Amino acid sequence: MRPRWHRAAGLALRVLWVVVKLTLVAALLNRNAANFVYAGF
Protein backbone atom coordinates (compact mmCIF):
# COMPACT_ATOMS: atom_id res chain seq x y z
CA MET A 1 0.00 0.00 0.00
CA ARG A 2 1.26 3.49 -0.84
CA PRO A 3 2.34 5.65 2.10
CA ARG A 4 -0.03 8.47 3.03
CA TRP A 5 2.41 11.25 2.18
CA HIS A 6 2.93 9.69 -1.25
CA ARG A 7 -0.79 9.89 -1.98
CA ALA A 8 -1.02 13.46 -0.63
CA ALA A 9 1.94 14.53 -2.79
CA GLY A 10 0.29 12.97 -5.84
CA LEU A 11 -2.95 14.87 -5.19
CA ALA A 12 -1.04 18.13 -4.55
CA LEU A 13 0.85 17.75 -7.83
CA ARG A 14 -2.40 17.11 -9.65
CA VAL A 15 -3.96 20.24 -8.13
CA LEU A 16 -0.86 22.23 -9.14
CA TRP A 17 -1.12 20.88 -12.71
CA VAL A 18 -4.78 21.93 -12.86
CA VAL A 19 -3.81 25.45 -11.71
CA VAL A 20 -1.01 25.63 -14.33
CA LYS A 21 -3.44 24.59 -17.09
CA LEU A 22 -6.07 27.13 -16.02
CA THR A 23 -3.40 29.87 -15.92
CA LEU A 24 -2.30 29.02 -19.46
CA VAL A 25 -5.93 29.01 -20.66
CA ALA A 26 -6.59 32.39 -18.99
CA ALA A 27 -3.41 33.79 -20.57
CA LEU A 28 -4.43 32.71 -24.05
CA LEU A 29 -7.96 34.02 -23.62
CA ASN A 30 -6.41 37.41 -22.89
CA ARG A 31 -5.81 38.70 -26.42
CA ASN A 32 -2.99 41.05 -25.36
CA ALA A 33 -1.10 38.20 -23.73
CA ALA A 34 -1.69 35.97 -26.76
CA ASN A 35 -0.48 38.70 -29.06
CA PHE A 36 2.62 39.21 -26.91
CA VAL A 37 3.45 35.51 -26.77
CA TYR A 38 2.91 34.83 -30.45
CA ALA A 39 4.47 38.09 -31.69
CA GLY A 40 7.78 36.26 -31.22
CA PHE A 41 6.91 33.94 -34.09
* Residue 4 phi, psi (nearest 5): -60, -40
Q: What is the DSSP letter of 2?
A: -
The CB-of-20 to other proteins minimum distance in angstroms stands at 9
Q: At its nearest, how many Å lie between other proteins and the CB of residue 12?
A: 10
20 residue type, one letter = V
Least distance (Å) between residue 22 CB and other proteins: 6
Per CB under 8 A, residues contacting other proteins are 11, 14-15, 17-18, 21-22, 24-25, 28-29, 31, 34-35, 38, 41
Residue 33 and residue 27 in contact, taking contact as beta carbons nearer than 8 Å = yes
